[in-house]
Amino acid sequence: MTVISPEAIPQTIRLTSLAHGGGCGCKLAPAVLQSILKGMPATAAFSDLMVGTDTSDDAAVWRLNETQALVATTDFFMPVVDDPFEFGRIAATNALSDVYAMGATPILALAIVGMPIERLSPEIIRRILEGGASVCAAAGIPVAGGHSIDSIEPIYGLVALGLIHPDKVLTNSKAQAGDVLILTKPLGVGVLSAAFKQEIITAEGYAALIASTTQLNSVGRELGDLPGIHAVTDVTGFGLLGHTLEMCRGAGLSAEITMAPPLLATVEALAKRGIRTGASTRNWASYGPAVRLPTGLEDWRRDLLTDPQTSGGLLIAVAEAHSDEVLALARRHGFISAAAIGHLIDGPPQVRVRS
């Protein structure tokens, strides 16, 4: 087994050593976020606001006219890897994912940059921005501006804007009973990032981490043209259980998912050793009461279901008759591990994990 050392990655300083968290594991725990947002003013008074904060969706959507709606989102975090270029790529891919999750096509991005300028050289910061710009170029959009500050920890991300026809907007809240749940990417990014920080990640695991987190969820912009697509979200910091639960709450349904979804290379072995992020534990503490687990389920299996996914895959609720079509589309876009992982049923908003 070849273990990759952070020292093998060329840079003058470990970016991850400057941050207390990394990637989507930096997100506030779901329970904390709900407490903060409780009592915030409702957005229903704005007639052209098609999607706001009501259902914890991936982006806001504003109707511009009869044929266009603007999708707007922002996402940023601290480093999940030490290579500055790869950090930029991962953060940009993750930010654009929210646009794709709404079914939209990105049109431009703005950079969000917070850097400890006394700790990081201009060259390192430039490489972070170049990584983000390379992903935007691959998505066919410019980084048209942004804002930068001097901060204690390195932070990078994007404001991402997209366009979509108002009739084709995909949300996380319109799933229907009987829908099949399809996940486009394997799980395990949080486990691999924890292994990276502990300097026990293998070359195979590191390659899997980078490949997954920099794969654009561009398949999302084609989902609105398919029949039977009822709800879509991307799986990020709250883990598979958390984002499935958001879908259930939006639709007023229950979900049943398998306890063995596809995993990234080397993740199962690491999870069995107890490698996990603090965010995984916080996630379970936040929404565990709404999850039903099989009796005797090992802790490491539960940890994988709460594992925070940085730049994770799309979770798609589709009518069973059209699920094979969605799987075929995903695989044509390079999501070779896309799989049906469960389904939605009538019942209270909760997730039941079945063996």
Statement: residue 132 has pLDDT above 70: yes
Mean pLDDT (the chain, rounded): 92
CATH of the domain at 331: 3.90.650.10
Burial 283-321 (b: 16+ CB within 10 A, else e): bbebbeebbebeeeeeebbbbbbbbbbbbbbbbbbbbee
Co-location of 149 and 210 in the same domain: no
Co-location of 25 and 116 in the same domain: yes
Number of domains the chain contains? 2
Determine the straight-line distance between the first and last CA of the chain, rounded to whole angstroms: 31
> Is 24 annotated as catalytic?
yes
pTM: 0.91
Q: 50-91: per-residue pLDDT in tens?
A: 999 888 888 999 999 999 999 999 999 999 999 999 999 999
Mean pLDDT of 227-250: 96
Statement: residue 193 has pLDDT above 60: yes
Co-location of 194 and 55 in the same domain: no
User: What's the pLDDT score for residue 7?
Assistant: 45
Set 24, 26, 136, 248: catalytic member: 24
User: What's the pLDDT score for residue 355?
Assistant: 78
Within a domain: 277? yes
- Cα separation, 264 vs 170, whole angstroms: 27
Within a domain: 174? no
User: What's the pLDDT score for residue 25?
Assistant: 60
Co-location of 315 and 212 in the same domain: yes
- Cα separation, 225 vs 249, whole angstroms: 25
Looking at 143, 168, 193, the residue that finishes a domain is: 168
Distances (CA, A) of 89 to 23, 85, 213, 244, 344: 12, 6, 8, 26, 34
Q: Name the residue range of residue 287's domain.
A: 180-354
